[in-house]
Amino acid sequence: MDCLVAPSLPIVPDRSSNLRLGIMASGSGSNFAAVAEAIATGQLPAKIAVLIYNNPHIKALEYAAQYQIPAVFHDHRGVERGALDRAIVQTMQEYQVNCVVMAGWMRVVTPVLIDAFPDRIINIHPSLLPSFPGIKAIEQALAAKVKISGCTVHLVRPVVDSGPILIQAAVPVLPDDTVETLHARIQIQEHRILPAALKLL
């Protein structure tokens, strides 16, 4: 199935020639790698200024080293959400980031971060929002026995997974799907639509 692009995007003025990305990742980093690859192959005119990560064992670190992208660790443990976001904003500013990408960032962000980059923070989520927001989206989709699921790139707002949708892609849910098989099918689409959404910016 193909991806769908929102007809009118609530995006602020064109700064695309100078897109400096700050990517936040907590997981395996495959979406980070997809963006890095799109830039390296000339499909996306942008630069990843910094990777911010909160899991010291994240695989994205290997990709960051491969693409020579600076990586900054922000430990969330024992840190109040607002304080964590203040530290993240400071790092983003140090690296002159003008667009923030939550690529598998498994923390709820606060207005401290959101207000520092108005309409310039995007998130990728493994469901067709507004269905199945929040954690365990794939488990939710399987439990609901939907026949179609997918992924969404949207602008970030204070309510989790609620912001204006930029792009979605749909995938079939097969009768014998597990969380792993459905996630793998969704991730193929995520790796397409995340760079595509950034291209729109």
With binding defined as CB under 6 A, does residue 124 bind ligand GAR? Answer: yes
Cα 81 from Cα 161, distance rounded (Å): 17
Q: CB of residue 194 vs ligand GAR: minimum separation in angstroms?
A: 8
Which residue's CB is nearer to ligand GAR, number 137 or number 196?
A: 137
With binding defined as CB under 6 A, does residue 28 bind ligand GAR? Answer: yes
With binding defined as CB under 6 A, does residue 25 bind ligand GAR? Answer: yes
Cα 67 from Cα 158, distance rounded (Å): 32
Report the relative pairing of strands 20-25 and 3-5 from DSSP bridges: unpaired
> Peptide bond preceding 130: is omega within 30 degrees of 0, i.e. cis?
yes
Residues in 152-191 that interact with ligand GAR by CB under 6 A = 187, 190
Q: CB of residue 13 vs ligand GAR: minimum separation in angstroms?
A: 28
**Binding footprint of ligand GAR on the chain (CB under 6 A):** 25, 27-31, 103-104, 124-126, 137, 151, 187, 190
